[in-house]
Amino acid sequence: MAARDNRRMSVSRQQLQQAFDALLQPERFKDYGPNGLQVEGKPDIACLVSGVTASRALIEAAIARRADAIFVHHGLFWRGQDGRITGWMRERLRLLLAYDINLFAYHLPLDAHLEVGNNAQLGRVLGWAADQRFGEQDLGFAGPAAFDGAQALADHVAQALGRAVTLVQPAARRIQRVAWCTGGAQGYFESAIAAGADAFITGEISEPQAHLAREMGVAFIAAGHHATERYGAPAAAGLVAQQLGIEHHFVEIDNPA
Ligand SMILES: [Zn+2]
Protein backbone atom coordinates (compact mmCIF):
# COMPACT_ATOMS: atom_id res chain seq x y z
CA MET A 1 0.00 0.00 0.00
CA ALA A 2 2.95 2.32 0.53
CA ALA A 3 3.45 2.20 -3.21
CA ARG A 4 0.38 4.38 -3.60
CA ASP A 5 2.49 7.57 -3.44
CA ASN A 6 4.30 6.75 -6.66
CA ARG A 7 2.03 4.45 -8.59
CA ARG A 8 -1.50 3.29 -8.01
CA MET A 9 -2.09 -0.22 -6.64
CA SER A 10 -3.66 -2.45 -9.23
CA VAL A 11 -5.11 -5.94 -9.43
CA SER A 12 -5.89 -8.21 -12.34
CA ARG A 13 -9.40 -8.45 -13.76
CA GLN A 14 -9.46 -12.10 -12.60
CA GLN A 15 -8.51 -11.18 -9.03
CA LEU A 16 -11.26 -8.58 -8.91
CA GLN A 17 -13.83 -10.98 -10.34
CA GLN A 18 -12.79 -13.68 -7.84
CA ALA A 19 -13.13 -11.24 -4.95
CA PHE A 20 -16.63 -10.18 -6.05
CA ASP A 21 -17.67 -13.82 -6.60
CA ALA A 22 -16.27 -14.92 -3.24
CA LEU A 23 -18.21 -12.15 -1.49
CA LEU A 24 -21.50 -12.40 -3.37
CA GLN A 25 -21.67 -16.10 -4.37
CA PRO A 26 -23.65 -15.66 -7.59
CA GLU A 27 -23.86 -19.43 -8.14
CA ARG A 28 -26.46 -19.59 -5.34
CA PHE A 29 -29.05 -17.57 -7.29
CA LYS A 30 -31.45 -17.98 -10.17
CA ASP A 31 -31.34 -14.54 -11.79
CA TYR A 32 -32.73 -12.49 -14.70
CA GLY A 33 -29.34 -11.77 -16.25
CA PRO A 34 -25.66 -12.73 -16.04
CA ASN A 35 -23.88 -11.94 -12.75
CA GLY A 36 -20.17 -11.14 -12.81
CA LEU A 37 -18.16 -9.69 -15.68
CA GLN A 38 -20.61 -8.44 -18.33
CA VAL A 39 -18.21 -6.41 -20.49
CA GLU A 40 -14.49 -7.22 -20.63
CA GLY A 41 -12.10 -4.27 -20.46
CA LYS A 42 -8.42 -3.78 -19.62
CA PRO A 43 -6.57 -6.57 -17.75
CA ASP A 44 -5.38 -4.43 -14.79
CA ILE A 45 -7.59 -2.41 -12.49
CA ALA A 46 -6.45 0.40 -10.20
CA CYS A 47 -9.64 2.43 -9.95
CA LEU A 48 -13.14 1.07 -9.41
CA VAL A 49 -16.34 3.10 -9.69
CA SER A 50 -19.60 1.76 -8.27
CA GLY A 51 -23.18 2.82 -8.97
CA VAL A 52 -26.70 1.46 -9.01
CA THR A 53 -27.25 1.15 -12.78
CA ALA A 54 -24.94 0.89 -15.80
CA SER A 55 -26.52 3.99 -17.34
CA ARG A 56 -24.70 6.26 -19.79
CA ALA A 57 -24.39 8.89 -17.05
CA LEU A 58 -22.60 6.42 -14.76
CA ILE A 59 -20.28 5.27 -17.55
CA GLU A 60 -19.43 8.90 -18.36
CA ALA A 61 -18.74 9.58 -14.69
CA ALA A 62 -16.43 6.54 -14.60
CA ILE A 63 -14.59 7.81 -17.69
CA ALA A 64 -14.16 11.23 -16.04
CA ARG A 65 -12.59 9.51 -13.02
CA ARG A 66 -10.35 7.39 -15.25
CA ALA A 67 -11.88 4.23 -13.81
CA ASP A 68 -10.74 0.82 -15.03
CA ALA A 69 -13.84 -1.02 -13.86
CA ILE A 70 -17.45 -0.32 -12.93
CA PHE A 71 -19.47 -2.31 -10.39
CA VAL A 72 -23.28 -2.08 -10.56
CA HIS A 73 -26.49 -3.68 -9.32
CA HIS A 74 -28.33 -3.26 -12.64
CA GLY A 75 -26.11 -4.36 -15.54
CA LEU A 76 -26.71 -4.13 -19.28
CA PHE A 77 -28.11 -7.54 -20.10
CA TRP A 78 -31.46 -9.00 -19.02
CA ARG A 79 -33.59 -11.93 -20.00
CA GLY A 80 -36.15 -10.84 -22.59
CA GLN A 81 -33.97 -8.32 -24.42
CA ASP A 82 -33.91 -8.81 -28.19
CA GLY A 83 -30.11 -8.64 -28.31
CA ARG A 84 -29.66 -5.80 -30.79
CA ILE A 85 -26.80 -3.36 -30.19
CA THR A 86 -28.63 -0.21 -31.28
CA GLY A 87 -29.59 3.17 -29.80
CA TRP A 88 -28.89 3.57 -26.06
CA MET A 89 -27.32 0.10 -25.83
CA ARG A 90 -24.89 0.90 -28.64
CA GLU A 91 -23.89 4.13 -26.93
CA ARG A 92 -23.31 2.56 -23.50
CA LEU A 93 -21.27 -0.28 -25.01
CA ARG A 94 -19.37 2.08 -27.32
CA LEU A 95 -18.21 4.13 -24.33
CA LEU A 96 -17.20 1.07 -22.27
CA LEU A 97 -15.24 -0.44 -25.16
CA ALA A 98 -13.68 2.85 -26.29
CA TYR A 99 -12.30 3.46 -22.79
CA ASP A 100 -11.49 -0.22 -22.12
CA ILE A 101 -13.61 -0.27 -18.95
CA ASN A 102 -14.67 -3.57 -17.34
CA LEU A 103 -18.32 -3.80 -16.32
CA PHE A 104 -19.21 -6.05 -13.38
CA ALA A 105 -22.88 -6.51 -12.46
CA TYR A 106 -24.41 -8.41 -9.56
CA HIS A 107 -28.19 -8.36 -9.29
CA LEU A 108 -29.92 -10.72 -6.83
CA PRO A 109 -26.63 -11.69 -5.12
CA LEU A 110 -26.22 -8.03 -4.20
CA ASP A 111 -29.80 -7.76 -2.89
CA ALA A 112 -29.36 -10.79 -0.68
CA HIS A 113 -25.94 -10.47 0.98
CA LEU A 114 -26.33 -10.40 4.75
CA GLU A 115 -23.91 -7.52 5.38
CA VAL A 116 -23.15 -5.56 2.22
CA GLY A 117 -26.37 -6.36 0.32
CA ASN A 118 -29.08 -3.87 -0.60
CA ASN A 119 -31.54 -5.28 1.93
CA ALA A 120 -29.04 -5.40 4.78
CA GLN A 121 -27.80 -1.90 3.98
CA LEU A 122 -31.32 -0.46 3.68
CA GLY A 123 -32.01 -2.01 7.09
CA ARG A 124 -28.91 -0.27 8.45
CA VAL A 125 -30.02 3.09 7.03
CA LEU A 126 -33.50 2.63 8.53
CA GLY A 127 -32.18 1.31 11.85
CA TRP A 128 -33.48 -2.25 11.57
CA ALA A 129 -31.84 -5.67 11.88
CA ALA A 130 -33.50 -8.66 10.23
CA ASP A 131 -34.25 -11.76 12.29
CA GLN A 132 -36.16 -13.48 9.48
CA ARG A 133 -35.93 -13.97 5.71
CA PHE A 134 -38.92 -14.65 3.51
CA GLY A 135 -40.13 -14.93 -0.09
CA GLU A 136 -38.60 -16.35 -3.23
CA GLN A 137 -34.87 -17.12 -2.84
CA ASP A 138 -35.12 -15.71 0.72
CA LEU A 139 -34.66 -12.17 -0.59
CA GLY A 140 -37.12 -10.54 1.81
CA PHE A 141 -35.91 -9.33 5.21
CA ALA A 142 -38.09 -8.85 8.32
CA GLY A 143 -37.45 -7.74 11.86
CA PRO A 144 -38.77 -5.87 14.88
CA ALA A 145 -39.54 -2.15 14.82
CA ALA A 146 -41.70 0.18 16.92
CA PHE A 147 -43.92 2.88 15.40
CA ASP A 148 -47.24 4.28 16.61
CA GLY A 149 -48.73 3.77 13.17
CA ALA A 150 -48.04 3.51 9.47
CA GLN A 151 -47.79 7.29 9.00
CA ALA A 152 -45.02 7.53 11.63
CA LEU A 153 -43.19 4.70 9.86
CA ALA A 154 -43.62 6.36 6.45
CA ASP A 155 -42.29 9.66 7.87
CA HIS A 156 -39.23 7.84 9.23
CA VAL A 157 -38.52 6.16 5.87
CA ALA A 158 -39.01 9.43 3.97
CA GLN A 159 -36.64 11.26 6.29
CA ALA A 160 -33.97 8.55 6.22
CA LEU A 161 -34.03 8.28 2.40
CA GLY A 162 -34.50 11.99 1.74
CA ARG A 163 -37.50 11.65 -0.54
CA ALA A 164 -41.28 11.44 -0.52
CA VAL A 165 -42.74 7.95 -0.24
CA THR A 166 -46.07 6.42 -1.27
CA LEU A 167 -48.00 5.04 1.70
CA VAL A 168 -51.08 2.88 1.51
CA GLN A 169 -52.33 2.98 5.03
CA PRO A 170 -54.92 0.55 6.29
CA ALA A 171 -56.86 1.11 9.53
CA ALA A 172 -54.66 2.40 12.37
CA ARG A 173 -52.42 -0.34 13.75
CA ARG A 174 -49.28 -0.25 15.82
CA ILE A 175 -46.22 -1.33 13.86
CA GLN A 176 -44.19 -3.97 15.68
CA ARG A 177 -42.74 -5.93 12.78
CA VAL A 178 -41.56 -4.59 9.44
CA ALA A 179 -40.64 -6.47 6.29
CA TRP A 180 -38.61 -4.99 3.46
CA CYS A 181 -37.16 -5.89 0.10
CA THR A 182 -35.40 -3.31 -2.07
CA GLY A 183 -36.21 -2.36 -5.66
CA GLY A 184 -39.17 -3.71 -7.58
CA ALA A 185 -40.27 -6.24 -4.97
CA GLN A 186 -43.98 -5.35 -4.81
CA GLY A 187 -44.66 -9.00 -5.73
CA TYR A 188 -43.25 -10.00 -2.32
CA PHE A 189 -46.08 -8.25 -0.46
CA GLU A 190 -48.17 -11.37 0.10
CA SER A 191 -45.22 -13.34 1.44
CA ALA A 192 -44.40 -10.38 3.71
CA ILE A 193 -47.97 -10.53 5.05
CA ALA A 194 -47.66 -14.29 5.51
CA ALA A 195 -44.40 -13.70 7.40
CA GLY A 196 -46.35 -11.64 9.95
CA ALA A 197 -45.32 -8.10 9.03
CA ASP A 198 -47.40 -5.07 10.06
CA ALA A 199 -45.87 -3.07 7.19
CA PHE A 200 -43.88 -3.78 4.01
CA ILE A 201 -41.33 -1.40 2.50
CA THR A 202 -40.06 -1.76 -1.06
CA GLY A 203 -39.18 0.47 -4.00
CA GLU A 204 -42.25 0.35 -6.18
CA ILE A 205 -45.99 -0.20 -5.95
CA SER A 206 -48.33 -1.66 -8.58
CA GLU A 207 -52.10 -1.42 -8.67
CA PRO A 208 -52.99 -4.69 -6.86
CA GLN A 209 -50.91 -3.93 -3.74
CA ALA A 210 -53.05 -0.95 -2.73
CA HIS A 211 -56.12 -3.18 -2.49
CA LEU A 212 -54.19 -5.93 -0.69
CA ALA A 213 -52.91 -3.42 1.87
CA ARG A 214 -56.43 -2.23 2.66
CA GLU A 215 -57.98 -5.69 2.66
CA MET A 216 -55.24 -7.38 4.69
CA GLY A 217 -54.66 -4.48 7.09
CA VAL A 218 -50.92 -4.30 6.37
CA ALA A 219 -49.30 -0.99 5.40
CA PHE A 220 -47.43 -0.74 2.08
CA ILE A 221 -44.69 1.83 1.54
CA ALA A 222 -43.07 2.44 -1.85
CA ALA A 223 -39.89 4.42 -1.22
CA GLY A 224 -38.30 4.36 -4.70
CA HIS A 225 -36.55 1.61 -6.63
CA HIS A 226 -33.35 3.62 -6.86
CA ALA A 227 -33.55 5.12 -3.37
CA THR A 228 -33.87 1.70 -1.74
CA GLU A 229 -31.07 0.15 -3.85
CA ARG A 230 -28.29 2.73 -3.63
CA TYR A 231 -26.55 1.34 -0.53
CA GLY A 232 -25.47 -2.16 -1.57
CA ALA A 233 -23.16 -1.28 -4.46
CA PRO A 234 -20.94 1.15 -2.50
CA ALA A 235 -20.81 -1.27 0.46
CA ALA A 236 -19.81 -4.29 -1.64
CA ALA A 237 -17.45 -2.47 -4.01
CA GLY A 238 -15.95 -0.49 -1.13
CA LEU A 239 -15.24 -3.66 0.86
CA VAL A 240 -13.61 -5.45 -2.10
CA ALA A 241 -11.58 -2.37 -3.04
CA GLN A 242 -10.36 -2.12 0.55
CA GLN A 243 -9.44 -5.83 0.62
CA LEU A 244 -7.46 -5.49 -2.61
CA GLY A 245 -5.99 -2.05 -1.91
CA ILE A 246 -7.43 -0.33 -4.98
CA GLU A 247 -9.18 3.03 -5.32
CA HIS A 248 -12.99 3.13 -5.16
CA HIS A 249 -15.61 5.83 -5.70
CA PHE A 250 -19.39 5.49 -5.51
CA VAL A 251 -21.18 7.71 -8.00
CA GLU A 252 -24.79 8.58 -7.24
CA ILE A 253 -26.88 9.22 -10.35
CA ASP A 254 -30.21 10.47 -9.02
CA ASN A 255 -33.32 8.69 -10.26
CA PRO A 256 -36.88 9.68 -9.22
CA ALA A 257 -38.21 6.15 -9.88
ZN1 LIG B 1 -33.34 -3.20 -8.89
Name the CATH topology of 123-225.
3.40.1390
The answer to whether 114 touches 28, Cβ cutoff 8 Å, is no
The answer to whether 204 touches 222, Cβ cutoff 8 Å, is yes
Q: Which parts of the chain are beta strand (E)?
A: 11-12, 36-39, 44-45, 47-53, 69-74, 102-105, 132-134, 140-147, 166-168, 175-180, 199-202, 219-222, 247-250
Residue 3 has pLDDT above 50, yes or no: no
Helix residue ranges, H only, 138-248? 150-161, 189-194, 207-216, 225-228, 232-244
Q: What is the pLDDT of residues 192-225, one digit of tens each?
A: 999 999 999 999 999 999 999 999 999 999 999 9
Q: Which distant-in-sequence residues (6+ apart) come within 8 Å of 60 by Cβ?
A: 95
From 160, 199, 162, select the one nearest 179 (Cα to Cα): 199
Determine the distance separating the centroid of ligand 1 and the alpha carbon of 16, expressed in angstroms: 23
Determine the distance separating the centroid of ligand 1 and the alpha carbon of 108, expressed in angstroms: 9
Can you give the pTM of this predicted structure? 0.95
Residue 160 has pLDDT above 50, yes or no: yes
From 125, 128, 129, select the one nearest 160 (Cα to Cα): 125
CA–chain centroid gap for 231, Å, is: 6
From 229, 216, 171, 170, select the one nearest 190 (Cα to Cα): 216
From 126, 123, 122, 116, select the one nearest 235 (Cα to Cα): 116
Q: What is the pLDDT of residues 57-69, one digit of tens each?
A: 999 999 999 999 9
Q: What is the pLDDT of residues 225-256, one digit of tens each?
A: 999 999 999 999 999 999 999 999 999 999 99
Rounded to the nearest 5 percent, the helix, strand and coil shares of the chain are 40, 20, 35
Determine the distance separating the centroid of ligand 1 and the alpha carbon of 34, expressed in angstroms: 14
End-to-end CA distance of the chain: 40
Q: Domain coordinates of the chain in residue numbers?
A: 2-112+231-250, 123-225
Q: What is the pLDDT of residues 162-188, one digit of tens each?
A: 999 999 987 778 999 999 999 999 999
Note whether 2-112+231-250 and 123-225 share their fold. Answer: yes
Q: What is the pLDDT of residues 72-121, one digit of tens each?
A: 999 999 999 999 999 999 999 999 999 999 999 999 999 999 999 999 99
Determine the distance separating the centroid of ligand 1 and the alpha carbon of 154, expressed in angstroms: 21
Determine the distance separating the centroid of ligand 1 and the alpha carbon of 188, expressed in angstroms: 14
What band does 7 get if pLDDT is binned at 50, 70 and 90? low
For domain 2-112+231-250, which CATH number applies: 3.30.1490.190, 3.30.70.2860, 3.40.462.20, 3.40.1390.30? Answer: 3.40.1390.30
